[in-house]
Amino acid sequence: MYLPAFRVWFARRPPPLGAHVQLLAASDFPFLNASYSPVLRQIEAGNRDVALRELDYLRFYLPEMFPALQRVVLLEDDVVVQRDLAELWRVDLGGQVNGALDTCFGGFRRYGKYLNFSEAAVRERVSPSACAWSYGVNVFDLQAWRRDQCTDQFHQLMDMNENGTLWDAASVLPAGLMTFYGNTRPLDRWWHVMGLGYNPHIRPEDIRGAAVIHFNGNLKPWLDVAFNQYKHLWTKYVDTDMEFLTLCNFGL
């Protein structure tokens, strides 16, 4: 339902500097059907948790969606890009598939937080003390992805988690943690400063130095409940001259 709105937006506001925008819908990819994808099969079977995250699960099909590409930088929709990302495109992943910000500061956010280690299918594959990482800013080497058959691994894991016993299907991160276990290279922290949607204590110098800031959490900058000290970091980019935005309650 969002595609027509995106088309109107970019028709009214063409991207500057010769940038190219391609708008695609899931229906543009015929291979995305229930006979191939356990995600769509579970949605058709009535799995509401997976259905609510259908678009998020599409990231596991990047190599099939873009067969001519060798690398992708994936940004989520609650980030603000503050610096040129050209160097991120060229970062050395050392032959691994996924480049991401690791989040195990001290003893926090390790695999044990996201996965059910009472299940043998989890215990036999990953360690609870392994360092977790975050979506929001990711570099994917699609050649390495195809080499390691990561989509097939994801399908196997989704089939095993059909009843939601391995992880909470309402989140796509655990599926990524399992799929890219041992295949993720940490990015330098200044590429991705996260937590602006839940942490009021991020240092201003960290925000200023970040290439991308991430409003992950419930307190999004377009909501009235957003942190006042962070809100301007998003609102300064809002095109208030666009007539359609006057119909939106952004709490500006």
Report pTM: 0.93
**Alpha-carbon distances of 34 from 40, 45, 62, rounded to whole Å:** 5, 10, 17
Residue 239 within any structural domain of the chain? no
Q: Which helix (H) or strand (E) holds 252?
A: none
Looking at residue 128, its pLDDT comes to 95
Residue 158 within any structural domain of the chain? yes
Which positions ≥6 away from 142 have C-beta within 8 Å? 62, 63, 66, 69, 70, 71, 72
Residue 192 within any structural domain of the chain? yes
CATH number at residue 113: 3.90.550
Residue 202 within any structural domain of the chain? yes
Provide φ and ψ at 54, rounded to 5°: -55, -50
Burial of 140 (0-12, 13-18, 19+ CB in 10 A): buried
Looking at residue 247, its pLDDT comes to 74
Could you tell me what percent of the chain has a pLDDT over 90?
Answer: 81
pLDDT exceeds 90 at position 244: no
Looking at residue 16, its pLDDT comes to 85
pLDDT exceeds 80 at position 36: yes
Looking at residue 250, its pLDDT comes to 67
Tell me what the mean pLDDT of segment 38-62 comes to. Answer: 95
- Comparing CA positions, the residue from 57, 66, 12 lying closest to residue 37 is 57
Residue 66 within any structural domain of the chain? yes
Residue 159 CA to residue 163 CA, distance in Å, equals 9
pLDDT exceeds 90 at position 46: yes
Looking at residue 1, its pLDDT comes to 66
Residue 57 within any structural domain of the chain? yes
What is the chain's mean pLDDT, rounded? Answer: 93
Could you tell me what percent of the chain has a pLDDT over 70?
Answer: 97
Residue 162 within any structural domain of the chain? yes
Q: State the residue range of the domain holding 135.
A: 3-217
Per the structure, how many domains does the chain have? Answer: 1
The pLDDT tens digits for 216-232 are 999 999 999 999 999 99
pLDDT exceeds 90 at position 184: yes
Looking at residue 183, its pLDDT comes to 98
Residue 223 within any structural domain of the chain? no
The pLDDT tens digits for 93-110 are 999 999 999 998 765 689
Residue 145 CA to residue 70 CA, distance in Å, equals 9
